């Protein structure tokens, strides 16, 4: 009986250590992503974002700078993505439409790339 209790306590302790390590790892990843978001925001005069769940790969954080520049980063989980944008202190939109989407400025590269996909133009590869 005492052996069973000790075994259960050891299993619980091991589970707590694993959970703590996973939480610490997630916190470090969120901090790293927040730093990248902050760097983007500084380079573009501020930034806004939108977090979109993309399945098992995690969540994509789309960033749009005040100057119209844009980019994205992928977080391994939706929770980490939300934590990262919160730490970065940017405005987060629920959807990528309307006024928010209108802030994106595309250049010749994007137009060439989009045209290439649609009408057989340069592959951009």
Strand spans (E) along 1-125: 47-53, 59-65, 70-75, 91-93
Q: Is the pLDDT of residue 5 over 60?
A: yes
Give me the pLDDT at residue 119, please. 57
Residues ≥6 apart with Cβ < 8 Å to 83:
26, 27, 30, 34
Contact criterion met (CB below 8 Å) for 50 and 92: yes
Q: What is the pTM of this model?
A: 0.74
Torsion angles phi and psi, residue 105, rounded to 5? -115, 120
For the stretch 11-66, pLDDT in tens is 565 566 677 889 999 999 999 999 999 999 999 999 999 999 999 999 999 999 99
Q: By mean pLDDT, which of 36-50, 84-98, 111-125 is the weakest? A: 111-125
Tokens describing residue 13: 């302790």
CA angle 8, 12, 14 (to 5 degrees): 115
Give me the pLDDT at residue 49, please. 97
């Amino acid at each position: 009986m005492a052996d069973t209790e000790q075994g259960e306590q050891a299993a619980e302790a091991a589970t707590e250590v694993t959970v703590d390590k996973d939480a610490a790892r997630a916190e470090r990843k969120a901090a790293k992503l927040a730093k990248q978001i902050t760097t983007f925001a500084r380079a573009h005069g501020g930034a806004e974002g939108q977090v979109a769940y993309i399945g098992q790969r995690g969540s994509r954080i789309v960033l749009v700078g005040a100057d119209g520049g844009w980019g994205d980063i992928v977080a391994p989980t939706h929770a980490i993505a939300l934590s990262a944008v919160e730490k970065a202190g940017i405005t987060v939109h629920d959807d990528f439409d309307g006024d928010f989407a209108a802030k994106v400025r595309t250049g010749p590269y994007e137009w060439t790339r989009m045209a290439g996909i649609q009408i057989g133009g340069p592959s951009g590869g």
